[in-house]
Amino acid sequence: KDQNVFSCLFDLAYPIPVLVAIIESIRSTEPVNIVPDIAKRASDVSAPQFVAHDGANLSAALKAVCLSKELSLDERYYEIGYDSDAYESLMTWTGLIFPELSAIDARTDLSTGKITARFTIGQDQKSQVTIPIDALSDGTVKWLALVCYLISNRGSLAIEEPENYLHPSMQRSLINIIRNYISNRSAVRFLISTHSETILEQCRPQELTIFEYVEGRTICRRIENSDQVQEEINRTGFGLGRYLADNAL
């Protein structure tokens, strides 16, 4: 009862190399499915300083990101786990979809032992307003959690339907941010399951794996003529989302 089909394969006298590679790939990829209601909850003071796969500990992660600005290089590496530009990256990427945001901080309530993130809205000091994390929209909170995942250098991720709760403008920015993140990390990859035409519009034909349910079986395949599809996209101006919606891939 403590084994599954993957772990049993390691007990074979002659493990099948391709299956071993698949198992290691799955083990090294962290699944992510952010639930905004969970991400909005205050974090315990003892909570890890990284966002959990469902969005928990977001306030603790945001506090660590804010603290990373003030610590030395060694302290950031050993105690925080975020680079010195983590806060700047968080503000820049969140500013793409929330331009009114001017500052983020997180406070610990010693009477409850909880950490709560707070957000300052407005660029003019006279009109600035500070609101707690649970007052933000579900989409904004999910975006913050995803960005914290990226800047914490967690490695490869598998994100399930990231379009849920996200405004189309956030969906458009998401793929570009991921590209920026992985550009200098050859060992990092992202697996994204999506039905969003908006997200697909930002992708390249050679990046897609299409899953179809055919005669009781799930079939997955790559686009064989990806170069021709890209040429057609360039010619017509229609993106992958349009072609997938029309069953033209």
- Out of 1-10, 52-61, 114-123, pick the least confident: 1-10
Is residue 153 pLDDT above 50, yes or no? yes
Q: Residue 77: its pLDDT value, please?
A: 47
Contacts of 63 (CB under 8 A, 6+ apart): 43, 49, 105, 106, 108, 115, 117
**pLDDT value of position 118:** 95
pTM: 0.80
For the chain, give the mean pLDDT: 84
What is the band of 51 on the pLDDT scale with cuts at 50, 70, 90?
very high
Q: Which residue has the higher pLDDT, 39 or 78?
A: 39
The stretch 125-146 carries a mean pLDDT of: 91
Q: How far is CA 117 from CA 25, 26, 81, 111, 131, in A?
A: 34, 33, 18, 16, 9
Q: How much is the pLDDT for 1?
A: 46
Residues 144-165: what's their mean pLDDT? 84
The 10s digit of each residue's pLDDT in 157-203 is 888 888 988 888 888 888 888 888 777 666 677 888 888 889 998 88
38: pLDDT strictly greater than 90: yes
Give 75-123 pLDDT, tens digit per residue: 544 455 677 788 998 999 898 888 899 999 999 998 999 999 999 998 7
Q: What secondary structure, in 3-state letters, does 113-144 show?
A: CEEEEEEEECCCHHHCEEEEHHHCCHHHHHHH
- Contact (CB, 8 A) for 65 and 82: yes
What backbone phi and psi angles, to 5 degrees, belong to 193? -100, 130
